[in-house]
Structure 1
Amino acid sequence: MTLANNDPPQRRSFWTIERRDAAAGYIFIAPQLIGICIFVLIPLGLVFWYSLHEWNVLASTFRFVGAENYQTLLNDKSLPQVLLASAIFSVGLVILNMTLALLLAVLLDQKLKGMVIFRTLFFSPVVVSLVAWTIVWSFLLQNNGGINGLLAMIGVEGPNWLRNPTTAMISVIVVQVFKNVGLNMILFLAALQGVPKELYEAARVDGASVFKQFRRITLPMISPTIMLTSIITIVGSLQVFAQIAVLTQGGPGMSTTVLVYYLYQQAFQFHFFGYGSTLSILLFAIVAILTFVQWQLRKRIVFYEN
């Protein structure tokens, strides 16, 4: 005969190991989530809300207009020229920046004396103030500035760089390339130093030329970095503002009026905040679509995805 066990059943503790681990994880990611909500999601929602209104700060009016701003966007005769200028700037910047950055990275990857100094020199513009950098270049590119002074020493009469539609766009692109090429250069340099040297040794034994080694070994091995830098550079090119505002103010005419500067003009110069918000939505959509397309192309571009 056994005695009945009258001890009350033990209650399971609420703070189990799983719940403590989950709580710790939420605490660690909470600052990032709060930051995303405050600085990304809420502003994005407000921009969309403002795009449905006509907000005149000077007259202190704020009225709902529905899709009127989006209809204005479709009928804006200046928008095609703005988008064309944005496309020209982005394509020129991406091609020059990434090509020059990769070339510099390959050269600086050589085991030669003084390369550390050259790496520092090429990277130093990245940490310089953007406005200060642009102001210095605005003096250099004036009609009687430093660039034309150097050209005059060799008997060449330089153009008025910032007052000609063609040279103005080229000047803005070059200034931006020289400013940020060091960042992509460092990323490419780090990727190049991670390529196994045994691959090059095997290729040389098989008689592969330097160009074939670069095409068949270097490019595939650094393709993840190429994908990363291309996304960063394209997104950055669509957000350019300070260079346009300091160098050309969107001129001459509208030849250098890119989308961000046009947005600034509509919202803060002409006080069409509702239409400016609509242009912000357009910019967000363009960046999102381009990023999505690039991400989908990674399986064809990135070596490790194959």
Structure 2
Amino acid sequence: MPVSPRTAVVDPPEGGSPTAGQPVRRPFWTRRRRDQLAGLAFVAPQLAGSVVFVLLPIALVVRYSLYEWNVLAGEFHYTGGDNYTKLLDDANLPEVLKSTALFSAGLVVLNLSLALALAVLLNQKLRGMTVFRTLFFSPVVVSLVAWTIVWGFLLQAEGGINGLLRTVGVDGPNWLRGEGSAMFSVVVVQVFKNVGLNMVLFLAALQGVPRELYEAARIDGADPWRRFRSVTVPLISPTILLTSVITIVGSLQVFAQVAVLTQGGPKLSTTVLVYYLYQQAFQFHHFGYGATLSILLLLIVLALTVFQWQLRKRWVFYET
């Protein structure tokens, strides 16, 4: 029977090398296989982390949403779709979603617009700009809870904000107890906390815009606003997309500010979805329903992210 040339091994003559035309067995550890193994070794930690800390928790949350788990009573029994039915019948959920939408919209608009304005200002070649960059970015590295507690004192009825307003003859409200002012206060506190991060991202993008394009637009007679709208915004649009995705996802995950400043009140005016999830799971011990709310939050974040990613094809400019 003939032997396949791929498996045949011909020993070379003594003291010589394989003669021409004789097949030689290829080594198993080729350069390509070594490169593939090295690549797998580099991505293995990230892949393992994604499985353990992302995919596995999501799978467990989906499982827990089908059960009712009472930790205090030690009960864990299957309920099927009862938690999802409860989600549809929850009378508080529409108000919670409304508060979540108001907080996210207010945060995104104020944060991005203020961050872009500060970046444009700090991009000017003026003296002392390094100091101002440091001042605007410093809240980002401050502890979130400490930042929120300080603002909680400032926003009280007899706090520093109203004390400052009284010096100009204005009686300020109790910012954290009014249904309208409470949401505005939480949004402002969060904006001042994280605006420095988006400012730095915008500043880096602005410094990457070629100066020749501004010169060409100026020669063509474009005023500053037209140069900003037709040159700056298209060239930094990838950064605008990045900051908008980060800010929207972060706004849907806010918890500490609400827990420290308002505890969701007054009524449900500042009860966002994450805080409502926390109340149901860890205050009322409805862990199954809390898992169902977390799935709702996951679907909202996923839908908004996919929507932004698809929308980028219409307005995001890439040089390639």
TM-score, normalised to structure 2, is 0.93
**Equivalent residue, structure 2, for 1:266:** 280
Distance 2:128 2:156 in 1: 34
Distance 1:229 1:33 in 2: 26
**Equivalent residue, structure 2, for 1:300:** 314
CA contact (8 A) 1:299 1:305 kept: no
The gaps in structure 1 that reach 5 residues or longer are none
CA contact (8 A) 1:298 1:305 kept: no
Quote the offset at 1:301 in angstroms: 1.6
| 2:134 is aligned with 1:120 | yes
**Equivalent residue, structure 2, for 1:181:** 195
Quote the offset at 1:222 in angstroms: 0.3
Quote the offset at 1:305 in angstroms: 7.7
In the TM superposition, 1:70-85 aligns within 5 A as: 70-85=84-99
Identity rate of aligned residues, in percent? 71
Larger radius of gyration: 2
| 2:205 is aligned with 1:191 | yes
SS of the residue 2:77 aligns to: strand
Which of residues 134, 153, 167 in structure 2 aligns to 1:139? 153
SS of the residue 2:176 aligns to: helix
Pairs aligned (count): 302
| 2:44 is aligned with 1:30 | yes
In the TM superposition, 1:45-124 aligns within 5 A as: 45-124=59-138
| 2:254 is aligned with 1:250 | no
TM-score, normalised to structure 1, is 0.97
Deviations 1:31-82 (A, max 9, x none): 1001001100000000000000000000000001111100000000000000
CA contact (8 A) 2:10 2:24 kept: no
**Equivalent residue, structure 1, for 2:302:** 288
Which of residues 7, 11, 20 in structure 1 aligns to 2:11? 7
Distance 2:170 2:55 in 1: 53
**Equivalent residue, structure 2, for 1:216:** 230
| 2:53 is aligned with 1:39 | yes
Distance 1:133 1:112 in 2: 30
In the TM superposition, 1:199-210 aligns within 5 A as: 199-210=213-224
Quote the offset at 1:12 in angstroms: 2.3
Distance 1:6 1:118 in 2: 76
What residue identity is the alignment partner of 1:249? Q
Which of residues 147, 151, 162 in structure 2 aligns to 1:148? 162
**Equivalent residue, structure 1, for 2:239:** 225
The gaps in structure 2 that reach 5 residues or longer are 1-8, 13-22
CA contact (8 A) 1:227 1:301 kept: no
What residue identity is the alignment partner of 1:7? D
